[in-house]
Structure formats: C-alpha cells, structure tokens
Amino acid sequence: MLIPARGGDPNFWISQGETGSKGPWDPLLMELLVRAFYNQDLRERLALQQKRVLDSAAAILSGGNPPTQQQRDAVILTIALGNGLSMQYAVNPDPRLMQLYAQTVVHWFNELALPSKTK
C-alpha cells in the first residue's frame, strides 16, 4: 500500500503531481468532466466511478478499518485539489503549486491517516 507508506512524505505528493501533469491523463480527465457536465448519462457513470475511487482510497487511508467521515472528506478534498491543481499547473507550471499541494495533503494525511494519533 503505497499511500500509507509514503503519504506523510511531501516528495511523494510532489512526484505524483509532476508525473500526472506530464502525461495525457490530466487533460483527458478535464475533457471528460466538461463532457459530463452536458451529458446526464456520462455524468452518472463518472459519479459511480468517482465513488469507487473514493471508497478505495478511503479504505487505504483508514488502514483496512471502516473509513471515518473525516478520512472520506480528506480523500474528496485531495482529489478535488489535485484536479484543480492540474488545471492551474497546465496554465502556469510553477513548482510552488506542487509544494503547496504536497504540504496540504501531508497535513491531511498526518491528521487523519492514523486514528490512534492524539490530536
């Protein structure tokens, strides 16, 4: 499980963001989201797929325990932030964007990944 092992490492998230921005998937996802906005059937299919991703990522984050709502929310926000970042990075590939993303996601990971952690 890569996320729990490296989720607290900012370099992991920077690498993930930079790798994603160099491939075809971010622009294709953005195009799919725009098309889904105008197509109800596609929107429903995409929502189902997004739910599967959310459920899987939340299960990873929770370490096999039932995910808390906070963990599910962290996954939703991480994905939403990543999608927004990919659009912003496509226009302005400022490395600071990746650093801000990594800092935010690491904070969420550290706060929510380990339920036994005292806050």
> Per-domain residue ranges for the chain?
7-112
Q: What is the pTM of this model?
A: 0.69
Q: Are 104 and 7 in contact (CB under 8 A)?
A: no
Distance of CA 31 to CAs 76, 84, 112, Å? 20, 13, 32
pLDDT in tens, the chain (119 residues): 445 555 666 677 777 666 666 667 778 888 899 999 999 999 999 999 999 988 988 888 787 789 888 888 888 888 888 888 888 888 888 888 888 888 888 887 777 655 444 44
